Amino acid sequence: MSVTPDPSSLVSAAASGDRRALARLISILEDRREGHDALLPLAFRAAVPSHRIGITGSPGAGKSTLTDGLINIIRAAGEPVAVLAVDPTSPFSGGAVLGDRVRMQDHVLDDGVYIRSMASRGHLGGLSAGAPKALLALETAAFPIVIVETVGVGQDEVEIAAAADTVIVVVTPGWGDGVQAAKAGVLEIGDVFVVNKADRPGADEAVADLRAMLALGTRSDWEPPIIQTVATKGAGIDEVWKAIETHREHLGPDGLDAVRRERRRAELETALVEILRERASAMAKSGGDVVGAVEAGDLDPWTGAGTLAGE
Amino acid sequence: MSVTPDPSSLVSAAASGDRRALARLISILEDRREGHDALLPLAFRAAVPSHRIGITGSPGAGKSTLTDGLINIIRAAGEPVAVLAVDPTSPFSGGAVLGDRVRMQDHVLDDGVYIRSMASRGHLGGLSAGAPKALLALETAAFPIVIVETVGVGQDEVEIAAAADTVIVVVTPGWGDGVQAAKAGVLEIGDVFVVNKADRPGADEAVADLRAMLALGTRSDWEPPIIQTVATKGAGIDEVWKAIETHREHLGPDGLDAVRRERRRAELETALVEILRERASAMAKSGGDVVGAVEAGDLDPWTGAGTLAGE
């Protein structure tokens, strides 16, 4: 369709604040379009590490409204901020009711806010391969703060939020959400817990439930605060932002370095899986006796895979 | 803790109706415990293909209540049925409000109903590797009908439901659910669509939305029916069951064979990915110059992965 740009020009343009170039860079990287392989190391060299804030929680917990509130605080402090929304129910990514959508429009004219949505399905290599590349592109554009919003249901989604420097888990009162959060494995990853819609009955119980569950876990020296918010009214958002800053201070340079080393190792593993997955796909599509026998139901897929992998 | 049973005895016991043996077989296979490698080909040889019905949709759409209604119909016809619930919000898998839980108790004393929940996180090899093995175990126990209930949010969850012979997508009126369904990519996989909670405002619009969206897609010769239900009152469940039977007749032996060949090929690919993922994990944890350089931020993870994979 359009001419493929010179990789270093595209990275330079994205780094110097050209939002269209940034959008293009993200698209090429996350969908592995032409230029992907050349762009990745260039983008990496140009990237400035941002403070990554992950926000996760069940659909309807109010993650987007909280994100919106945080954007306002960050902008009031004069900092640029980017949002990567991989939540299919997020108004940022398009799955909103009208009221939410209208609210998001507030940021459209603000050049200091960049919002990017990412579909949770249909990426070559999967969501877990695409999201780190989109986040890399946002660091190439030197956003000091990046918020990653994911729905805390699928494994990939939870892991993407968990890879942030500071992870916020949002729950709501009632409906046994605390218990659900525990099941989904998000208790382990939360640095800050938010009980949103705290004007509803059961907010104090939700806090108590969370506190009891957190007390059971083996934690590090950081005790995750539990903050009640009514995000639609802006109540409690300041406290959430303060908790994020406190957590970042708690991490310190060494803690942050440890988080980032671990994240890079995980990204290396994901990148390896992506390469090996392609090989697996090519093998499985190659035909041949093993594939034919598995398709026909004469050989079980696991023995077949072992044979193909040369085990 | 307990002695590892002889693999062929365990498979024979599960195949002859021993439910504790079946539970143990599933646990070993899905969590890759000791005996996993020896059990897989044995279970495969003993398995009798079941009619796999996938049920997916957003959290709170009423998938479990629909599943419960289908169980009642299947049991009234005298057929045994197994349910694999990988939905973290499903009462079958433990994330329910009290009313739902109590209803589920109805089946506890019925030996013709086997309900197994599977956490959506924390499996070695991931959910997409574990679920096919749990389903294989249910086929080893010769259940003629198996219902797989997953929340239609994560990529893995959607794919697990999509691998069924007949796929039911559940939506609810209002809240732009039709649009959300489209975003999550479930429109392409549905053989039967259910608009549940159809006594709420907007049910007819939801049906119309779905019909319009389905008309846009390139479909095979099967036109997916759209059925309104009020699952909590049992309304419409008979029609859903009839639609499942009609879809199965429509598939016929050749169509079913094609679905299963494709599913086996996909399982082969998943099994290959599982093996290769382990290799990736071992490589990424092995230390060495490449891993060290990536962790330190001196080398981008993608170039590092290419080097490790020998590209």
pLDDT at A298 over 90: yes
Q: Is the pLDDT of residue B96 over 60?
A: no
Which of 3.40.50.12780, 3.90.110.10, 3.30.70.360, 3.40.50.300 is the CATH number of A48-259?
3.40.50.300
Helix, strand, coil share (%) of chain B residues, nearest 5: 55, 15, 35
**Contact state of B97 with A176 under an 8 Å Cβ cutoff:** yes
Task: Nearest chain B residue to A180 by CA: give it.
Answer: B95
Residues B273, A273: C-beta atoms closer than 8 Å: yes
pTM above 0.90, yes or no: no
Residue B1 CA to residue A189 CA, distance in Å, equals: 29
Gap from B76 CA to chain A (nearest CA, Å) = 32
User: What pLDDT shows up at residue B213?
Assistant: 80
Query: Closest partner residue to A294 among B151, B265, B273, by Cβ?
Result: B265
pLDDT score, position B309: 84
Once rounded to an integer, what is the mean pLDDT over residues B132-154?
A: 90
Q: Which of residues 90-109 of A touch B (CB under 8 A)?
A: 93-97
Q: pLDDT tens digits, residue range A7-64?
A: 999 999 999 999 999 999 999 998 888 999 999 999 999 999 999 999 988 777 888 8
Model confidence at B126, in pLDDT bands (50, 70, 90)? low
pLDDT at A100 over 80: no
Closest CA of chain B from A76, distance in Å: 32
Q: A277-291, B82-96, B290-304 — which is least confidently predicted?
A: B82-96
**pLDDT of amino acid A97:** 45
| Nearest CA-CA partner of A87 in A113, A54, A124 | A54
The size of chain B, in residues, is 311
Confidence label for B26 from pLDDT (cuts 50, 70 and 90): very high
Instruction: Return the residue in A155, A261, A263, A267 with the most chain B beta carbons within 10 A, the one to mutate for interface testing.
Output: A155
pLDDT > 60? residue B99 = no
In this prediction, residue A82 carries a pLDDT of 96
B269, B283, B286, B299: which to substitute to probe chain A, counting the most A Cβ within 10 Å?
B269
Query: Between A267, A297, A306, which is nearest B264 by CB?
Result: A297
Q: List pLDDT tens digits, range A106-132.
A: 777 788 999 998 876 655 556 778 899
Which stretch of A290-294, B10-14, B154-158, B209-213 has the lowest confidence by average pLDDT? B154-158
Number of H helices, E strands in chain A: 12, 7
Between A40, A158, A304, which is nearest B300 by CB?
A40
The beta strands (E) that lie in chain A are given as 51-57, 81-85, 113-117, 145-151, 166-171, 192-195, 226-228
What is the C-alpha separation between B202 and A269, in angstroms, rounded? 46
Are B152 and B186 within 8 A, CB to CB?
Answer: yes
Contact B272 A283 (CB under 8 A): yes
ipTM entry: 0.82
- Write phi, then psi, for B32 (nearest 5 degrees): 55, 45
| Cα separation, A136 vs A260, whole angstroms | 13
Task: Count CB neighbours of B219 within 10 A.
Answer: 12
Cβ distance of A272 and B308 shorter than 8 Å: yes
Please state, for a pLDDT cut of 90, what percent of chain B lies above it.
Answer: 50
User: Going edge to edge, which strands form the sheet with B226-228?
Assistant: B113-117, B81-85, B145-151, B51-57, B166-171, B192-195, B226-228
pLDDT at B289 over 80: yes
Confidence at residue B255, expressed as pLDDT on a 0 to 100 scale: 93
CA–CA min distance A108, chain B (Å): 22
More confident residue, B109 or B185: B109
Decide which of B91 and B278 is more confident.
B278
Of the candidates B41, B185, B268, which has its C-beta nearest A122's C-beta?
A: B185
CA dist list (Å): A24 to A5, A9, A12, A267, B302: 10, 12, 12, 22, 19
Confidence at residue A286, expressed as pLDDT on a 0 to 100 scale: 78
Residue B184 has pLDDT above 60, yes or no: no
Judge whether A221 and A252 are in contact, CB under 8 Å: no
pLDDT tier at A151, thresholds 50, 70, 90: confident
The residue of chain A nearest to residue B281, with distances taken between CA atoms, is A269
Contact check, Cβ <8 Å, A295/B261: yes
Digit-coded pLDDT (tens) for B40-50: 999 999 999 99
The DSSP symbol for A110 reads -
**Interface membership of A305 toward B (CB under 8 Å):** yes
Give the pLDDT score at A173: 85
How high is the pLDDT of residue B179?
Answer: 46
CA A114 to chain centre: 15
Q: Is B288 on the interface with A (CB under 8 A)?
A: no
Contact (CB<8Å) B280/A279: no
Q: What are A278's two structure tokens? A: 């392609």
- A277 vs A256, residue with greater confidence: A256
List the single best residue of A124, A272, A273, A278 to mutate versus B (max B Cβ within 10 A).
A272
The CATH number that domain B49-265 falls under is 3.40.50.300
- On average, the pLDDT of chain B sits at 85
Ranges of CATH 3.40.50.300 domains, chain B: 49-265
Measured between CB atoms, does A219 come within 8 Å of chain B?
no
Contacts of B195 (CB under 8 A, 6+ apart): B171, B172, B173, B203, B206, B207, B210, B226, B227, B228, B229
Q: Could you tell me if A104 and A96 are in contact, meaning their C-beta atoms sit under 8 angstroms apart?
A: yes
> What integer best gives the mean pLDDT of chain A?
85
Q: What is the mean pLDDT of residues A82-110?
A: 66
| CB pairs < 8 Å spanning A and B | 203
**Using only C-alpha atoms, what is the Rg of chain B?**
21
Residue A178, pLDDT score:
46
Q: How confident is the model at residue A98 (pLDDT cuts 50, 70, 90)?
A: very low
A121 touches chain B (CB under 8 A): yes
